[in-house]
Amino acid sequence: MFNFEDTRYNRQEQMPEWGKERQEKLKEAKVAVIGAGGVKSTFLMALVAGGIGNIRIIEFDTIELSNLNRQVLYRTDDIGRTKGQAALTTLTRLNPDINIELIEEKISENNIDNLLKDWDFIVEGGESPAGRNLVNEYCLQHKKPFTHASAQFSYGYAFSVVPKEKSACFACFFPEDHTRPEHTGAVPVNVLSTSLAGSIGAAEVFKWFLGYQDRMLTNKRLCFSSLLLSGEFTVEQQSRREDCPVCSIHYNN
């Protein structure tokens, strides 16, 4: 009953919930991804392998030896290269049909509009609270859906914010984070948790563009513990906080 042709997307096109027609639509998708570290390595590979047509990577960092336990986009002989250049090389080899743009800048108040305005979906997950909150506010203001996926130690989670539906924003999930300006620094982490978070996050992007927006992780987050597996994924509900100082401004206008 299956017709397994040797084409790039054949195996997923044979899935009834995916199909050839939806696969074609992915070509038009425009996704901006902020950062290309551990979670984003798996995230980006999933988007590129699966056929998300247009991807902008915003990353300014350089590859170090200690990245390689989890940042599966990079190889040992990439050490010293910029993550953006190395990611571009690997991802283009993975799927040359994808239009991938690289911006080697740190996102800030000054450049965020230029970096994100032409993109339909944003993948967040930056390491500093200030950066995360900047993206949250920008996406709320410009009604851009975004996904946040994160991993630390052996746990992680992912959720999405869909401003046009007034769903819980990043600051509703993390009210304290909003007031914490400083970078929290390096934390222990491993490849199991970053890859799981990246895959769960990438599923959010595919759901959006494949037409399953009603099944996204909005107003809730999917959490897991990966190492020495706890055996449980949990869903934590998070409805919008009426008194949220961030989304209240944008949702009430």
Residues in contact with Zn ion by CB under 5 A are 169, 171-172, 244, 246-247
Tell me whether residue 122 or residue 171 sits nearer to Zn ion (CB atom).
171
Residue 170 exposed, middle or buried by CB count within 10 Å (0-12, 13-18, 19+) = buried
CB 253, min distance to Zn ion, A: 14
Whole-number minimum distance, CB 217 to Zn ion, in Å?
16
DSSP at 143: T
Question: Smallest distance from the beta carbon of 31 to Zn ion, in angstroms?
Answer: 23
Please give the helix or strand (H or E) that residue 248 lies within, else none. Answer: helix 247-251
CA 247 to chain centre: 20
Give the integer Cα–Cα distance in Å for 29 and 22: 11
Cβ contacts of 22 within 8 Å, gap of 6 or more: 210, 211
**For residue 56, which amino acid is it?**
R
- Judged by CB, which is closer to Zn ion: 222, or 246? 246
Q: 33 vs 169, which CB is nearer to Zn ion?
A: 169
Tokens 């190492």 belong to 227
- Closer to Zn ion at the Cβ: 169 or 210? 169
Least Å from the CB of residue 238 to Zn ion: 10
